[in-house]
Amino acid sequence: MKRLFTTSALSAFVVGLMCVACGSWASETVAVIGALFGSGVDAAGKAKGTDMSMQSKAPVWTTSIRLLKLGESLEFNFRLPPGVSSGGLKIYPQYLEQANPGTAFKPGGDLKWLESLPSEPQSLTFSGAEATLTYIPKRTGNYIAEWRVGAETYYRYFSVIDDAYIVLSFATFFGLDPAPTFHGTGIPLDYRYPIAKFSTNDTVCRRLLDYNRVFGDLVVPAFMDLPGGTHEERVRVYGEGMAKARALLPDPLDHRSIRVDMQHKADPGYPLAFAEIGVNDHCGLWEANCAPWIGMPEFLYYASSGDCRKVNQSIGGQVVSHQWDFCGSFHFLGPVDWHYAASEGHFEKTEQCMKDGMDEFKGMIEMNDRPVFVTPLYGGVEKSWGDNPNPAFQTGDDRRGMGPFIERYQRHIAFELTKKYKLAFTRSIDMVDYYRRHCPVTPRTVYVSKTKHQLYDAWWTQGSLNNYGVVHASERIPWSTSISTVRKLRTTPVFPDKSVFLPLKDPLSCEYVLIEDQKRQIRFERECPNPIWWFDYNGDQKNEKGSLISAVETPDVMILRSQSFSKEAGLTIKLTMKTQASFPGYAILLWGLPLDYNTPPENIVTTAQSYTLAKNGDGETHMVLYFDLKPGAQLQVTLRKPKAERWEWQ
């Protein structure tokens, strides 16, 4: 999804976020930035020079957790300002699963259509100005609570899931306040705002704080990168800035998210600083498909204290990192404006792309036995794509057609997909909290992605298309693909000014298998049995500026293969490694075996140390074999009950 490199859009975004792309910072520069960030905060963490009257006079509604596993409870806390009385509280269970609002729904509109749905009235008992309510949901699904207070109505979305759910956490794309909002659906959205402008005197910030107050949206303070200076300086600068933001965000639940893009190749130790200032949710790592973020896991993970792109090697961890913009699949769920351009306004094409993506996430759940967390983007009508995707499609300055397209997109997300899939939504901090409660370590993830509409998906996954105007992925690459040649090609810039983004993690084929866990990330691309990408999270690469990450130089291995079948033994596959290299814990993948994915272990016999099965959306089964690579090493796999007498390889 190298679309981020459109010059005009990128420049505007960098200015808006106050991000720094590369280079080092002198201590005096850090001091100036610290003074800027901290100028609105006194020693007690109170905002200085900021009009707090809006916050102090408003009702306050805080919560405990908003993404629950079935069986967990949720606590609501209410506080009334003087002279304001509380009305009723209603909870609408499975509201999106039941809703068909018709013309009552408008993108960015109100939620009056909720009145036609079943609700659970709740009694609030105030002691003075405060009340507390504990709620235990009885069913999974999408919930929304509605509190009428004074002349206003407040809403809090929350969701209840089990291990079979797809969970989406939407964040804003280039624009800081894209229109229309998601508020007409009740679905939460993560907003970001530069910490230097975090003030009720700032018009946009005040509007975002209203979103937080009324709808419970997350507003994440966005900071400059600080690649220079000391750990103590980072703690001071980010700590003072977070205190400034926390003074304006009434719910302590929202005080633990930070956006720092980390746009340089060496990490000086951001997660260590974040942990010291009480941050759990690190947003802003743009994408795992290009430098400097390449190598980070595609899915949620506990960050190493020394490098936000690496996985923590011990139990748990305080900081959870994730992509700002999920790029682990061929298929993207957002931003909607990119779908509009890629599809030339034909939502049927977008719908197919989204279906393929959702089906892959459903398959991922079946392979991993736990929920899937994905972080798509939302862009509204901002037309952020510049010259891509699809520069041949012209929408005009008035963006004719985008309004109806976005309405159909929001309806599809909220009222259609929630009826076809076990689908829920969340804010990133709630996703992180759920992860920390239920995952003791970064778990192993097996994921398969395959495209059948490459020219649509390529706008998202092919940096070569967005940067060079070509698509080089074929349906399959040869069994005999030379890994050393691939490595050289991906680091060779076609244009020197693009070299800063290399290597690009463009898929070489139309299907890949991803395996990532606490120790490593491996990606295989069809039909090559050797890994195309391998990142070691246990490594300790460093320079004078901090921690580095780069792909492991895996060896060239020619795998000789033969097979035989007998009714008594089944299908036997023999593999011989033709190589001069040794590589402990190596892995290869056998594509499209005549094997049912749910084959019992006793019907698979192998001399490998272990194996992992994966499946694609076409029902094909692939097998990853783990072993110690040595010159001449041999492996054998016997499928006792194969689906065919021969493995048809390419």
**466-501 per-position pLDDT tens digit:** 777 788 789 999 999 999 999 998 888 888 887 877
The H or E element containing residue 130 is strand 130-135
Stretch 226-252: mean pLDDT: 97
Please state at what angle helix 454-461 crosses helix 347-368, rounded to 10 degrees. Answer: 70
Backbone angles phi, psi at 490, to 5 degrees: -75, -10
- Are the C-beta atoms of 514 and 494 separated by less than 8 Å? no
Indicate if the pLDDT at residue 4 is higher than 70. Answer: no
Summarize the confidence of residues 248-259 as an average pLDDT: 98
- Give the DSSP H/E element, type plus range, for residue 304: strand 301-304
Pick from 627, 603, 601, 598: which is nearest to 615 by CA?
598
- Decide if 344 contacts 407 (C-beta within 8 A): no
Query: Where does residue 482 rank: exposed (0-12), middle (13-18), buried (19+ CB within 10 A)?
Result: middle
Tell me the pairing of strands 610-615 and 604-606.
unpaired
Q: How many helices (H) and strands (E) does the chain have?
A: 15, 33
CB distance 226 to 235 below 8 Å: no
In the chain, the domains with their CATH numbers are 2-39+47-386+425-438 (no CATH), 555-650 (2.60.40)
**Phi, psi (rounded to 5 degrees) for 89:** -120, 130
Higher pLDDT, 290 or 365: 365
pLDDT band, residue 649 (cuts 50/70/90): confident
Percent of the chain at pLDDT exceeding 70: 90
Going by pLDDT thresholds of 50, 70 and 90, the confidence category of residue 14 is very low
Say how far residue 328 (Cα) sits from the centre of its chain: 9
Q: What is the pLDDT of residue 40?
A: 34
CB count in 10 Å sphere of residue 56 = 11
CA distance 538 to 555: 19
The chain-wide mean pLDDT, for the chain, equals 91
The pLDDT, as a whole number, for residue 434 is: 99
Residue where the block lists tokens 């993108």: 107
Distance CA(338)–CA(561), nearest Å, equals 44
Give Cα 337 distance to the centre of its chain.
18
* 81 touches 173 (CB < 8 A): no
Tell me how far apart the alpha carbons of residues 189 and 203 are, in angstroms, rounded to a whole number: 19
Mean pLDDT of all residues in 307-331: 96
C-alpha–C-alpha distance, residues 163 and 527, integer Å: 32
Contact 226, 19 (CB under 8 A): no
Confidence of residue 12 (pLDDT cuts 50, 70, 90): very low
The answer to whether 480 and 578 are in contact (CB under 8 A) is: no
Structure-token match 């060779």, residue found: 492
Task: Read off the amino acid at residue 574.
Answer: K
Distance in angstroms (rounded) separating the CA atoms of residues 3 and 386: 9
Using an 8 Å Cβ cutoff, are 464 and 336 in contact? Answer: no
CA 502 – CA 504 distance, rounded (Å) = 5
Neighbours of 96 (CB within 10 A): 26
Q: What CA–CA distance (Å, rounded) separates 457 from 465? A: 11
The per-residue pLDDT for 465 is 78
Residue given tokens 């980072």 in the structure block:
234
Please report the pLDDT score of residue 400 as a whole number.
Answer: 66
**pLDDT for position 493:** 81
What is the average per-residue pLDDT within 500-525?
94
The 8-class DSSP code of residue 470 comes to -
C-beta atoms surrounding 341 within 10 Å: 23
Q: Does 10 have pLDDT greater than 60?
A: no
Judge contact between 174 and 191, C-beta under 8 A: no
Q: What is the mean pLDDT of residues 176-205?
A: 98
Question: How confident is the model at residue 151, as a pLDDT?
Answer: 95
State how far the Cα of 443 lies from the Cα of 432, in Å rounded to an integer.
14
Q: Which two tokens stand for residue 73?
A: 């409870």
**Which one, of 516, 553, 543, 20, lies nearest residue 307 by Cα?**
543
Q: At what angle do helices 27-38 and 231-246 cross, to 10 degrees?
A: 10
Give residue 31's pLDDT. Answer: 42
Give pLDDT tens digits for 45-58: 333 333 444 556 89
Please check the confidence at residue 25 and state whether its pLDDT lies above 70: no
Is the Cβ–Cβ distance between 315 and 440 less than 8 Å?
yes
Q: Can you give the pLDDT at residue 398? A: 57
Three-class DSSP category at 251: coil
DSSP string, 215-230: H--EEEEEE----SS-
Mean pLDDT of 305-310: 98
pLDDT at 6 over 70: no
Average pLDDT over residues 298-321: 97
What's the pLDDT at 384?
A: 61
Distance CA 532, CA 470 (A): 21
Measured CA to CA, the distance from residue 221 to residue 201 in angstroms comes to 16
Q: Which of 94, 199, 86 is nearest to 144 (CA)?
A: 94
Averaged pLDDT for residues 297-326: 97
Structural tokens at position 578: 């033709």
- DSSP state at residue 70: B
Highest mean pLDDT among 336-345, 358-367, 455-464: 358-367
CB-based contacts of 600: which residues, under 8 Å, 6+ apart?
none
Confidence of residue 394 (pLDDT cuts 50, 70, 90): confident
Q: What is the end-to-end Cα distance of the chain in Å, rounded?
A: 29
CB 538 within 8 A of CB 511: no
Given a cut of 50, whether residue 19 has pLDDT beyond it is no
Least confident of 4-18, 81-95, 152-166, 211-225: 4-18
Question: Among 370, 278, 259, 267, which residue's Cα sits nearest to residue 325?
Answer: 259
- Report in angstroms the alpha-carbon separations of 298 from 301, 307, 641: 9, 15, 34
